[in-house]
């Protein structure tokens, strides 16, 4: 039995992943005992980046990979929020920094939602979640 697809590790951001003018926080359903769901960052026209796992590198996927991710993991998209970034270069720089090291998952205080928050806040947005439980609250 193969492992469900959850994206690809990248050493550098792809060249066509520089358009942070269109950025969304995307919440999908959880799996197993995860009632909080999962948050991904959607950038530009077709890129998604997220962190999944206890001590893992961030992973990227193109739109077709995102569809594969949903299908193979039995997930569904719950909602997405557009996020305005006054400093798109700051968000890009933070993402470049974060893809170079594993992300230590810490349940609610340091999880997939806080990963997205770090990137968008580096881009000048105040968007985020109070409790980091994606299905229970808006990303505002």
19-23, 57-61, 78-82, 128-132: least confidently modelled range: 128-132
- The SS3 call for residue 79 is strand
Segment 104-128 shows an average pLDDT of: 90
Asked, for residue 59, whether it belongs to a domain, the answer is: yes
Separation CA 101–CA 30 (nearest Å)? 24
Supply the CATH number for residue 110's domain: 3.90.1720
**Is residue 1 assigned to a domain?**
no
Instruction: Give how many domains the chain has, as a whole number.
Output: 1
Cα–Cα distance for residue pair 4/105, rounded to 1 Å: 19
Other residues' Cβ atoms within 10 Å of the Cβ of residue 133: 18
Among the listed residues 101, 99, 104, 124, the one whose alpha carbon sits nearest the alpha carbon of residue 114: 104
Flag whether 76 is in a domain.
yes
3-39 burial code (b ≥16 CB/10 A, e <16): eebbbeeeeebeeebeebeebbbbbbbbeeeeebbbb
User: What is the structure's pLDDT at 106?
Assistant: 80
Q: What is the overall mean pLDDT for the chain? A: 89
Residue 126 lies inside a defined structural domain of this protein: yes
Q: Provide the 10 A C-beta neighbour count for residue 83.
A: 23
Of all residues in the chain, the percent with pLDDT exceeding 90 is 63
- On the CB side of 88, CA atoms within 13 Å amount to 12
pLDDT higher than 80, residue 132: no
pLDDT reading at 62 higher than 90: yes
pLDDT for residue 16: 62
pLDDT of 85 strictly over 80: yes
Q: Please check whether residue 24 is in contact with residue 81, taking contact to mean a CB–CB distance below 8 angstroms.
A: yes
- The residue written with tokens 């996927």 in the block is 61
Domain of residue 110: give its range: 8-136
Residue-wise pLDDT for 5-31, tens only, equals 999 998 777 666 678 889 999 999 987
Quick: pLDDT tens for 29-60: 987 777 788 999 999 888 999 998 889 999 99
Rounded Cα distance between 127 and 121, Å, is: 7
């Amino acid at each position: 039995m193969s492992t469900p697809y959850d994206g690809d590790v990248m050493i550098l951001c792809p060249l066509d992943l520089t358009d942070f003018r269109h950025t969304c926080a995307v919440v999908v359903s959880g799996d197993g005992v995860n009632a909080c769901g999962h948050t991904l960052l959607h950038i530009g026209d077709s890129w998604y980046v997220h962190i999944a796992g206890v001590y893992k590198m961030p992973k990227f996927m193109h739109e077709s990979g995102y569809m594969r991710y949903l299908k193979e993991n039995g997930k569904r998209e719950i909602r997405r929020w557009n996020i305005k970034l006054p400093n798109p270069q700051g968000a890009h720089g933070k993402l470049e920094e974060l893809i170079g090291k594993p992300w230590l998952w810490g349940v609610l205080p340091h999880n997939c939602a806080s990963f997205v928050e770090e990137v968008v806040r580096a881009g000048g947005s105040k968007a985020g979640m109070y409790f980091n439980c994606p299905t229970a609250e808006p990303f505002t």
